[in-house]
Amino acid sequence: MMEASSTHQQPALIVNDVVKRFNVASIPWWKRLRPDHQNGHSSDDQAANGSGSSLKAKRGKEIITAVDHVSFTVQPREIFGVLGPNGSGKSTLIRLLSTLLIPDEGTVTVFGLDVVKHEMQVKRLINRVSVEASFFKKLSAQENLLYGARLYGLSGKVADQKARDILKRLGLRENSYTEPMEEMSRGMQQKVAITRAFLTEPTVLLLDEPNTGLDPRSKMEVQTFVRELRDVHNATILITTHDMYEADTICDRVAIMHDGKIVAMDTPAALKQQVKRNGHEPTLEDVFMTLTGEALIEKEADAADLEPEKV
């Protein structure tokens, strides 16, 4: 129990050889070849497309390895980005770090606390923002936020002022603050979710695509909040995003996931040095395309080698 405060220099997050598998209904190979299965609209579709390496389980069932022997360490005050195609395991990783899922193999620790053994202490250190944020939809943003703040021991008055300040910076109209959440647009609800996370100044902030649905100005403001939380409150931040420019701008280091594995991990500058120049300075997008694109092509070639006679 004393582990968390015993040393300041211990890593903020340690993900050690973690594996997370899911059992999903399997889809016959001939269905996978249908053009409408190529776009991967549902989780099952993504699974069928090979997002997350899979192995056959019982009849009608398939095991998807969403996180496949992943290891990394995040230092205190680091802004660590996780990039990867749809279904590569980013959200699963965030759920493991936030105690919502239990790893099948390996260990996850937050400031020395094991997420399985010390679930409650870990929960107190972290906040998570995700697209599936849950709210009492009939209640207003104000009611939802003050309720959340009270759970963290913040006084109503302080929390109310802070919530108003944050929402104002994110560009939410004053009168929306007291309207029922169900009347808000997706982007507006996302702003409330972000406000809830920043309200209590967590030690570790896990942001799963925080900018989904946000307009460009609000996106910039979220980046400013992230930096402030680190600079002023010494927070450690792990963020997943599909915005390569954002990752390049705010992340100290970036891990690129593909099929549940980390295929590259370094500073954005070092990653960019790894890719060939095609007449222009490489961007993080070039790195992403090179690493995940080539892997996809190899996979398709393998599949063609394995099952030609069935087609």
Ligand X SMILES: Nc1ncnc2c1ncn2[C@@H]1O[C@H](COP(=O)(O)OP(=O)(O)OP(=O)(O)O)[C@@H](O)[C@H]1O
Q: Which is nearer to ligand X, 26 or 203 (CB)?
A: 26
End-to-end CA gap in the chain: 58
Positive or negative torsion for Cα 179, 180, 181, 184: negative
Nearer to ligand X, 98 or 142 (CB): 98
Letters for 70-99 (x = contact with Mg ion by CB under 5 A, - = none) are --------------------xx--------
Pick 21 or 90: Cβ nearer Mg ion: 90
* Smallest separation (angstroms) from Mg ion to the CB of 88: 8
Shortest separation between residue 132's beta carbon and ligand X, angstroms: 10
5 or 42: CB nearest ligand X: 42
Quick one: 8 or 34, whose CB is closer to ligand X?
Answer: 34
Residue number closest to Mg ion, CB atom: 91
Q: Is 249 exposed, middle or buried (0-12, 13-18, 19+ CB in 10 A)?
A: middle
Q: State in angstroms the smallest separation of the CB of 218 from Mg ion.
A: 20
C-beta neighbour count of 253 within 10 angstroms: 17
Minimum distance of Mg ion from residue 129's CB (angstroms): 12
Residue 206: strand, helix, or coil: strand
The neighbour count for residue 173, using CB atoms within 10 Å, is: 10
CB of 194 to ligand X, least distance (A): 17
* Nearest alpha-carbon partner for 194 in 209, 183, 182: 209
74 binds, among ligand X, Mg ion, none (CB under 5 to 8 A by kind): none
In whole angstroms, give the CA distance from residue 169 to residue 165.
6
Buried b (16+ CB within 10 A) or exposed e, 204-230: bbbbbbbbbbbeeebbebbbebbeebb
Interaction site with ligand X (CB under 6 A): 22, 24, 43, 46-47, 51-52, 64, 66, 84, 86-92
The alpha-helical segments, DSSP class H, found in 79-135 are 90-97, 119-125
- Looking at the Cβ atoms of 57 and 100, the one nearer to Mg ion is 100
Residue 52 interacting entry, from ligand X, Mg ion, none, C-beta within 5 to 8 Å by type:
ligand X
Which positions lie near Mg ion, rule CB under 5 A?
90-91
